[in-house]
């Protein structure tokens, strides 16, 4: 039996781990995708909240700082020193005013100035300058002035703004009612370093913090002038946008109360979603580990299943290829263990049955050999017998005839030499001697023909009985000596058989019919055929002397006659020949008749596939 190896692609050993890995990977991918989406969404919301919160806080802080400054400056504007100076400027009041404004100055910042209502600068109180920390100075403040906090201005790369407070000639009991005497003007530059530090503290690194006017004209990232954010910064709110260099950001705007300013805090997406990315990376590593673990586990499990299956298959193939016995070594308690045990039981049973069969076959072969030897012996014996018979008949034909020839020969010569002295009685004796010898010769000849009939080779072919009967009729009808014969020959079939021996049989039967109807004025001879699906039955019927059915069984015996040679000549071998010929064809012969009422002789021939219908 041809062995059919399982290709590695179709093997469970590969397919099960692959399937497990694929399923695990699918589940993990789905989980990871959903988790990433959830984490991302949460992070987006957190980022938005964070930027808004940072913007609000910065705005509040800046607003408070600014209000504090305004309050400080307003108290100075109502102070006696400043009011005294403004009402009555002289050296004394000037010094007092200066004393009052000095605490309001800021180191390294532009001076706090006093201007009158006509636009003339009265005083400029300069703060202390820390050596080494001198900042570049903005241009000097100039009228007109508007009370409050001004928008940011930019000049020479320096950002600055003014805080302007009205100085009014008012009584303490009714504030804000008096006429305006002038202004306190405090110009300040943005100090980036400090602010940046504060903002980074508030918002965290990676954040963008921008400050500018609500009108959107001047904006800074606290180190330099920048374009304003691409959103409406005059009102608070969240927005997402892309920078010109392709970075996506989420940002929040907040209005700084008490000023014309807004603050803008933005975080790049990359910063916001960095934790999600990290989470994803980590989870992917974990997932790969899980998939690998699943694959290994599946490989181990499938090996546990397929290894016994391989062993079973190998054992089964060995048995199929003719191995006497093949067992598998599976010691397990699960289904595979049961399968192995069942297989072993089956293999042993098959082995047992096989041995039994082999023993039986051997026995049969031995028996057949014995029978065969016997048959061969019988065949040899038969062959020897056949050869002996052949030699016997050869001897008979030569040696038995010679004495007969001598009898007739010398009787004839005696008649010739003693002719004149012989009387009629002597001559009759001599004739009887010769006749007896001649008759003996015929008997020998017929017996030899009969003997050869049993050994003659028969050729089998299609024989047209109709043509054969016509032929024989012409032959036997040649010497009828003017007898009246009415032939009634029916349609006859084509049969399977040996033409020459069948011809001999028909010749015998038809000669007999003619012979035994010789006493009738008109001999009526009918020849026909019928029969079933298995055989063809041919009959030859005459209206001759017939026979007594009591002796019908003797008709076909050798030298058996129902009539004396005086009535009808013959040796009694003809019907024996017919029987032998028909038997050698596998058929039967029989006869029906009654004394004085004719006889019918039948013979049957087995039908073969090749014999056809009557023509």
The β-bridge relationship of strands 484-489 and 522-530 is parallel
Taking the complex as a whole, the smallest distance from the CB of residue 403 to another protein amounts, in Å, to 8
Nearer CB in complex with another protein: 135/440: 440
Taking the complex as a whole, the smallest distance from the CB of residue 441 to another protein amounts, in Å, to 4
> Given the rule CB under 8 A, which of 75-83, 314-322, 406-414, 505-513 is the region that contacts another protein?
406-414
- The answer to whether residue 448 forms part of the interface with another protein (CB under 8 A) is yes
Rounded Cα distance, 139 and 157, in Å: 11
Nearer CB in complex with another protein: 334/390: 390
Nearer CB in complex with another protein: 401/483: 401
Give the E-state strand segments of 380-530 in sequence order: 461-464, 484-489, 494-497, 522-530
> Given the rule CB under 8 A, which of 115-123, 223-231, 341-349, 436-444 is the region that contacts another protein?
436-444
- The answer to whether residue 457 forms part of the interface with another protein (CB under 8 A) is no
* HEC profile of 3-26: CCCCCHHHCHHHHHHHHHHHHHHH
Question: What is 86-147 written as a DSSP string?
Answer: HHS-SHHHHHHHHHHHGGG--TTSPPEEEEETTS-EEEEEPPP--TT-PPPPPPPP-S---S
Nearer CB in complex with another protein: 148/441: 441
How many CA atoms, within 13 angstroms, populate the side-chain half-sphere of residue 489? 17
- The answer to whether residue 405 forms part of the interface with another protein (CB under 8 A) is yes
Region of 109 please: left (phi>0), alpha (psi -120 to 50) or beta: beta
- The answer to whether residue 84 forms part of the interface with another protein (CB under 8 A) is no
Nearer CB in complex with another protein: 10/438: 438
Nearer CB in complex with another protein: 402/521: 402
> Given the rule CB under 8 A, which of 199-207, 410-418, 458-466, 594-602 is the region that contacts another protein?
410-418
Range 125-154, binding another protein (CB under 8 A): none
Residue 439, Cα to own-chain centre: how many angstroms? 92
Q: Identify the three-state secondary structure at position 226.
A: strand
Taking the complex as a whole, the smallest distance from the CB of residue 411 to another protein amounts, in Å, to 8
Closest by CA to 511, choosing from 479, 476, 538, is 476
- The answer to whether residue 409 forms part of the interface with another protein (CB under 8 A) is yes
Q: Given candidates 241, 282, 410, 559, which one binds another protein under the rule CB under 8 A?
A: 410
- The answer to whether residue 225 forms part of the interface with another protein (CB under 8 A) is no
Q: Identify the three-state secondary structure at position 382.
A: helix
- The answer to whether residue 230 forms part of the interface with another protein (CB under 8 A) is no
Count of residues that bind another protein according to CB under 8 A: 21
Closest by CA to 344, choosing from 319, 376, 374, 370, is 319
- The answer to whether residue 418 forms part of the interface with another protein (CB under 8 A) is no
- The answer to whether residue 404 forms part of the interface with another protein (CB under 8 A) is yes
Q: Given candidates 413, 480, 484, 595, which one binds another protein under the rule CB under 8 A?
A: 413
Indicate the length of the chain as a whole number.
615
Rounded Cα distance, 338 and 329, in Å: 12
Range 363-402, binding another protein (CB under 8 A): 394, 397-399, 401-402
Rounded Cα distance, 42 and 22, in Å: 30
Q: Identify the three-state secondary structure at position 271.
A: helix
Taking the complex as a whole, the smallest distance from the CB of residue 425 to another protein amounts, in Å, to 21
> Given the rule CB under 8 A, which of 32-40, 62-70, 430-438, 457-465 is the region that contacts another protein?
430-438
What is the four-CA torsion angle of 553, 556, 558, 561, rounded to 10 degrees?
70
Write out the residues near another protein by the rule CB under 8 A. Answer: 394, 397-399, 401-402, 404-406, 408-413, 434, 437-438, 440-441, 448
């Amino acid at each position: 039996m041809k062995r059919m190896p399982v290709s590695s692609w179709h093997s469970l050993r590969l397919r099960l781990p692959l399937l497990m890995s694929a399923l695990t990977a699918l589940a993990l991918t789905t989980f990871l995708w959903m988790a990433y989406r959830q984490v991302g969404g949460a992070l987006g919301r957190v980022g938005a909240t964070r930027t808004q919160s940072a913007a609000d806080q910065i705005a509040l802080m800046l607003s408070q700082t600014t209000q504090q400054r305004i309050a400080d400056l307003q108290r100075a504007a109502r102070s006696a020193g400043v009011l005294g100076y403004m009402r009555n400027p002289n050296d004394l009041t000037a010094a007092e005013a200066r004393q009052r404004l000095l605490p309001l100055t800021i180191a390294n910042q532009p001076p706090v100035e006093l201007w009158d209502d006509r636009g003339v600068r009265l005083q400029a109180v300069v703060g202390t300058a820390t050596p080494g920390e001198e900042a570049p100075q903005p241009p000097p403040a100039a009228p007109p002035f508007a009370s409050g906090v001004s928008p940011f201005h930019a000049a020479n790369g320096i950002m600055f703004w003014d805080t302007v407070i009205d100085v009014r000639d008012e009584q303490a009991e009714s504030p804000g009612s008096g006429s305006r005497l002038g202004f306190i003007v405090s110009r300040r530059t943005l100090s980036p370093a400090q602010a940046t530090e504060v903002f980074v503290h508030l918002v965290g690194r990676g954040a963008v913090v921008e400050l500018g006017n609500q009108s959107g004209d001047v904006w800074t990232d606290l180190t330099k002038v920048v374009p304003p954010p691409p959103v409406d910064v005059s009102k608070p709110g969240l927005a997402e946008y892309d920078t010109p260099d392709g970075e996506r950001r989420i940002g929040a705007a907040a209005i700084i109360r008490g000023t014309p300013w807004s603050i803008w805090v933005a975080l790049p997406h990359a910063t916001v979603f960095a934790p999600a990315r990290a989470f994803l990376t980590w989870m992917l590593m974990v997932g790969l580990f899980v998939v690998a673990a699943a694959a290994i586990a599946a490989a181990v499990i499938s090996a546990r299943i397929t290894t016994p299956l391989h062993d079973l298959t190998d054992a089964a193939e060995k048995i199929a290829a003719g191995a006497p016995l093949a067992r598998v070594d599976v010691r397990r308690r699960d289904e595979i263990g049961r399968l192995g045990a069942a297989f072993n039981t089956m293999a042993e049973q098959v082995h047992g049955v096989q041995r039994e069969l082999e023993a039986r076959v051997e026995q049969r072969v031995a028996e057949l050999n014995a029978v065969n030897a016997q048959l061969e012996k019988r065949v040899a014996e038969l062959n020897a017998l056949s050869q002996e018979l052949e030699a016997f008949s050869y001897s008979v034909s030569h040696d038995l005839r010679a004495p007969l020839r001598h009898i007739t020969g010398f009787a004839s010569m005696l008649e010739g030499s003693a002719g004149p002295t012989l009387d009629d009685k002597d001559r009759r004796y001599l004739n009887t001697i010769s006749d007896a010898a001649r008759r003996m010769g015929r008997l020998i000849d017929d017996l030899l023909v009969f003997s050869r009939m049993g050994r003659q080779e028969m050729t089998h072919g299609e024989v047209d009985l109709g043509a054969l009967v016509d032929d024989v009729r012409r032959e036997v009808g040649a010497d009828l000596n003017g007898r009246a014969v009415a032939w009634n020959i029916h349609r006859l079939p084509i049969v399977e058989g040996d033409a020459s021996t069948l011809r001999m049989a028909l010749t015998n039967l038809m000669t007999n019919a003619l012979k035994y109807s010789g006493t009738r004025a008109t001999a009526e001879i009918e020849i026909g055929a019928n029969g079933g699906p298995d055989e063809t039955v041919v009959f030859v019927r005459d209206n001759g002397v017939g026979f007594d059915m009591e002796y019908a069984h003797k008709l076909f015996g050798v030298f058996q006659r129902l009539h004396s040679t005086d009535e009808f000549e013959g040796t009694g071998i003809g019907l024996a020949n017919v029987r032998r010929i028909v038997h050698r064809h596998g058929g039967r012969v029989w006869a029906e008749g009654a004394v004085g009422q004719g006889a019918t002789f039948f013979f049957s021939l087995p039908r073969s596939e090749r014999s056809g219908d009557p023509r």
